[in-house]
Amino acid sequence: MRYSLSSIIRNAASGHRHWPKVWRNPEPQKSYDVVIVGGGGHGLATAYYLARNHGITNVAVLEKGYLGNGNIGRNTTIVRSNYLCSENSQFYEHSLKLWEGLSADLNYNVMLSQRGALNVFHTPAQRDAAIRRGNAFSLNGIDSVLVSREEVKKLAPLVDCSPNARFPVLGGLLQPRGGSVRHDAVAWGFARAADTRGVDIIQNCEVTGFRIEKGRVRGVETSRGPIRANKVGIVVAGRSTLVARMAGLRLPIESHVLQCFVTEPVKPVLDTVVMFAAAHFSIVQSDKGGLVFNGDLDGYNSYAQRGNMPVMSGVAESAVSFMPRLSRLRLLRHWGGINDMTPDGSPFITRTPVKGLFFNGGWCYGGFKGTPASGWTFAHLIANDEPHPFAAGYTLSRFETGRVINENGAGPQPGKH
């Protein structure tokens, strides 16, 4: 059923008791044209665009747990496309354009709010870097505006712009089209739209192995029996190395935990996404009123989905030195998501040495904002066995060939990006 004003009125009249299930819950069939391993945001987006752009609907998405349990529900919901390296900027700009039309495309309100993403800077060196980045964005056709301290004050009155601030604010670089999206709605919206086009979404179905014959993938073994498919996509960020190892692949990825925090809800105090450059800290206010923070990785390999105290106190200190009025807010919840960290901070959307087996992962911090473009380009790769031009750089071989895409200029330690 299409969601519309008339469907709301009709269902309101019957007391909202007759809304149909948002997606089916089918039993797995014996074989599919394409199997997607991982029902996170990227896996669901891939299935949706396989059906929408390429007409491939005999597709199964296999999810170990339930939809929305992984990183699609564990991020800080920020979207923006202000990336410096050209491979990243074209990819994330495509993603932001898809975000802009996504609610209408999916017939599901993902609650995109383009409230602006503001990177505040504090030193002349940071200002020079921001100007350089801003010029690069403009050359790539990405909106960016250099703003003064007074404008920062106007955009985000919570920021301490006084000369007495611990890290005095000099100005900022704003991407007006950046903003936030309701993250759960992204999972549900893609799931519903894929399901409507005939994709089978199979929850509680763990992939336990791959069937590979003569260097070609023939299907997967799962906790609910074997499933045949000549094309399989792995999209399991956080556990990529473990799943890929079952297919005999070794990946340049380490798993690290990134913590997020949300305060008790307050009245609207912040209508912009703000990034603090004196430490690594970002803040956005959710529609429920909670202020959502995140900071650095904990910095060591982890599959624990929970973090440690030093990062928690560092994030709280950043929050208070940046926005002193937050000092009396209490943190309500905090959680950890497991990030695939790569040696250059950029992802993979690529073929593998096994024919018919494709890999999407290594999203570091950038996974949520990349969700639609990741699905779009990965579906293109699976359907045509040819990389999409916007994701052609995201190969596994780039470390051997030296064509790394290193946004931060940090070294090869995955935890440093």
Partner 1 sequence: MQIHCPWCGPRSLDEFEYGGDASKTRPSGKTQENMEAWVDYVFLHDNPAGRHREYWQHVGGCRSWLIVTRDTRTHEISKVELACASSRKGAK
User: What does the binding site for partner 1 look like in residue numbers (CB under 8 A)?
Assistant: 239, 241-242, 250-255, 299-304, 308-310, 343, 399-400, 412-413, 415
Phi, psi of 319 (to 5 degrees): -60, -45
Distance CA(347)–CA(394), nearest Å, equals 6
Instruction: Identify which of residues 189 and 367 has a Cβ nearer to partner 1 in the complex.
Output: 367
**Residue 349 Cβ vs partner 1, minimum distance, rounded to whole Å:** 18
**Residue 414 Cβ vs partner 1, minimum distance, rounded to whole Å:** 8
Instruction: Identify which of residues 196 and 308 has a Cβ nearer to partner 1 in the complex.
Output: 308
Cα 7 to Cα 4, 101, 186: the distances in Å are 5, 21, 21
Instruction: Identify which of residues 159 and 251 has a Cβ nearer to partner 1 in the complex.
Output: 251
Which residue is associated with the tokens 């560092």? 314
Please enumerate in sequence order all residues whose Cβ is within 8 A of that of 411, keeping only pairs 6 or more positions apart, or say none: none
**Residue 61 Cβ vs partner 1, minimum distance, rounded to whole Å:** 23
**Residue 348 Cβ vs partner 1, minimum distance, rounded to whole Å:** 12
Instruction: Identify which of residues 209 and 310 has a Cβ nearer to partner 1 in the complex.
Output: 310
Instruction: Identify which of residues 343 and 356 has a Cβ nearer to partner 1 in the complex.
Output: 343
Of 276, 229, 321, 233, residue with least CA distance to 122: 276
Distance CA(79)–CA(101), nearest Å, equals 14
Which residue is associated with the tokens 């900071």? 295
**Residue 200 Cβ vs partner 1, minimum distance, rounded to whole Å:** 28
Give the N- to C-terminal CA distance of the chain in Å, as an integer. Answer: 44
Report the SS3 class of residue 316. Answer: helix
Instruction: Identify which of residues 47 and 253 has a Cβ nearer to partner 1 in the complex.
Output: 253
Burial zone of 132 (CB within 10 Å; 0-12 exposed, 13-18 middle, 19+ buried)? exposed
In whole angstroms, what separates CA 210 from the centre of its chain?
26
Instruction: Identify which of residues 73 and 362 has a Cβ nearer to partner 1 in the complex.
Output: 362
Instruction: Identify which of residues 196 and 301 has a Cβ nearer to partner 1 in the complex.
Output: 301
Please enumerate in sequence order all residues whose Cβ is within 8 A of that of 189, keeping only pairs 6 or more positions apart, or say none: 102, 103, 106, 108, 109, 110
**Residue 342 Cβ vs partner 1, minimum distance, rounded to whole Å:** 9
Instruction: Identify which of residues 324 and 415 has a Cβ nearer to partner 1 in the complex.
Output: 415
Structure tokens at 95: 């993603």
Q: Are 279 and 318 in contact (CB under 8 A)?
A: yes
**Residue 400 Cβ vs partner 1, minimum distance, rounded to whole Å:** 5
Instruction: Identify which of residues 46 and 255 has a Cβ nearer to partner 1 in the complex.
Output: 255
Q: How many residues does the chain have?
A: 417
**Residue 207 Cβ vs partner 1, minimum distance, rounded to whole Å:** 15
Structure tokens at 115: 């409230």
Distance CA(307)–CA(309), nearest Å, equals 7
Distance CA(162)–CA(167), nearest Å, equals 9
**Residue 373 Cβ vs partner 1, minimum distance, rounded to whole Å:** 25
Distance CA(111)–CA(103), nearest Å, equals 8
**Residue 310 Cβ vs partner 1, minimum distance, rounded to whole Å:** 4
Structure tokens at 402: 């030296």
Distance CA(173)–CA(117), nearest Å, equals 8
